[in-house]
Amino acid sequence: MKIFYKSFINFFLVKFFLLRDRYKIIFLMFHGVMDLKGSPAWQPLRPQLSPTTLDEYLRILSRYFSFVTIDHALEMLTGKVPLQPYSIVLTFDDGLRNFKEHALPVLEKYKAPATVYVATNHVEQQIPFWFDRLDYALQLLDGEPYSVNIGNEIITFVPGDREALAKAYKQMRYSIKKKQISDEEMQDLLYSTATLIEKKYGRSLKDIIASDPWCGIMNWSELKELAAAGITVGSHTVNHCRLAFVTPEKAEQELQNSKRAIEENLGLACNHFCYPIGSCNGQVADLVREAGYQSAVTTKYGFNRIGDDPMKLCRFHVPYGTDGEGVETLLYRISGLEAFFSKIKRFFIWKKS
Ligand SMILES: [Zn+2]
């Protein structure tokens, strides 16, 4: 009975909050979509969204929202066309090959347009991202705990304990986001750490990337197929750089060269950008605008309103649904209820202290 009341109240609260914010555009952020069934050779530490969960999300979202292209969303946000209430935009970072196999059929089922952001050097060279290479390498470890110093923060990985390993890996990725270290230095540190472990164990994600179902990256001909199927292809830089931690000259190169590579290889305009690791600031946003992009998405949580800077679009993280409460969490998040409740919680904690 208690559960019934809880669901009843939640349903109306979500409905009310969605109605309140219907003129704000929601952007959702996805990464890989992977079928967890079968027995793959390895499984990444970072959580994965299954096609079944994606299907469930889009089924529920299609009840409340209209899926719109990023171009349409932008026209609405800049006031060129009237804002259509309950609009939602789907974005997928990194250009992983599993998008084509597992996400595209679900998107087509719900007639949901989407944008995929690719880092062009990874597309061309078919090389894995540092976070995937490290994910793979860390799971090769055995014996003694292994420590990495990231900007004076020591992160220790304990071999054999997957849960502890996943926690430390998450902590490492979180730390990297905030560290005031040049991107070049950071990438050197991460790639050399992966290389060191790979050498010791004689295995590397680099060697299996072409057929790896988790981390394989789409090539130009696959991206061409996607574009022909109506998927928007945007830039995610050349080298997946944290743009707030490179020189303005390097940022310009990353922005212009990736745009050019996409346009030359796909024969289409590349108007949309996504900041790797969400790394952006006012100067970087200006450089994105000057490079000729019409929009740029961040990893900042929140809604997008008419008149907001299109170079700093907010997105909501999509829950992975591994705890069986994916849909509820998603609706709580995108209705603004999650933020509302955490504000109330913070208020009471402040009152108590
Ligand atoms: Zn990325």
- Residue 61 in domain: no
pTM value? 0.93
Task: Count structural domains, the chain.
Answer: 2
Q: How far away, in angstroms, is 112 Cα from ligand 1 center? A: 22
Q: How far away, in angstroms, is 207 Cα from ligand 1 center? A: 21
Q: How far away, in angstroms, is 323 Cα from ligand 1 center? A: 24
Q: Using the 8-state DSSP alphabet, how is residue 117 labeled?
A: E
Contact 190, 172 (CB under 8 A): no
Task: Report the range of poorest mean pLDDT among 5-14, 33-42, 333-342.
Answer: 5-14
Q: How far away, in angstroms, is 249 Cα from ligand 1 center? A: 21
Q: How far away, in angstroms, is 237 Cα from ligand 1 center? A: 9
Domain boundary among 159, 191, 210: 210
- Please report the pLDDT score of residue 1 as a whole number: 44
Percent of the chain with pLDDT over 70: 95
What is the rounded average pLDDT of the residues 286-304?
Answer: 97
Q: How far away, in angstroms, is 217 Cα from ligand 1 center? A: 12
Domain boundary among 153, 175, 210: 210
Burial of 135 (0-12, 13-18, 19+ CB in 10 A): buried
Task: Report the range of poorest mean pLDDT among 135-144, 207-216, 321-330.
Answer: 321-330
Q: Are residues 109 and 225 both part of a single domain?
A: yes
- Please report the pLDDT score of residue 221 as a whole number: 97
Q: 69-74 long-range CB contacts below 8 Å, 24 or more apart?
A: 69/113, 69/115, 69/232, 70/113, 70/115, 70/232, 70/234, 70/272, 70/295, 71/232, 71/271, 73/25, 73/27, 73/304, 74/294, 74/295, 74/310
Q: How far away, in angstroms, is 349 Cα from ligand 1 center? A: 35
Q: Locate tokens 């190169």: which residue?
A: 253
CATH number at 325 reads 3.20.20.370
Contact 260, 293 (CB under 8 A): no
Q: How far away, in angstroms, is 318 Cα from ligand 1 center? A: 15
Q: Are residues 338 and 234 both part of a single domain?
A: yes
- Please report the pLDDT score of residue 295 as a whole number: 98
Contact 210, 245 (CB under 8 A): no
Assign 28 to helix, strand or coil: strand
- Residue 30 in domain: yes
Q: How far away, in angstroms, is 91 Cα from ligand 1 center? A: 11
Compute the mean pLDDT over every residue in the chain, rounded to the nearest whole number: 91
What is the rounded average pLDDT of the residues 293-320?
Answer: 96
Go through the chain and tell me how many residues it has. 353
Q: How far away, in angstroms, is 99 Cα from ligand 1 center? A: 14
- Residue 344 in domain: yes
Q: How far away, in angstroms, is 218 Cα from ligand 1 center? A: 14
Angstrom CA distances, 326 to 2, 173, 197, 201, stand at 20, 22, 35, 37
Contact 247, 224 (CB under 8 A): no
- Please report the pLDDT score of residue 296 as a whole number: 98
Domain span at residue 108 reads: 21-34+66-127+217-352
Q: Are residues 102 and 231 both part of a single domain?
A: yes
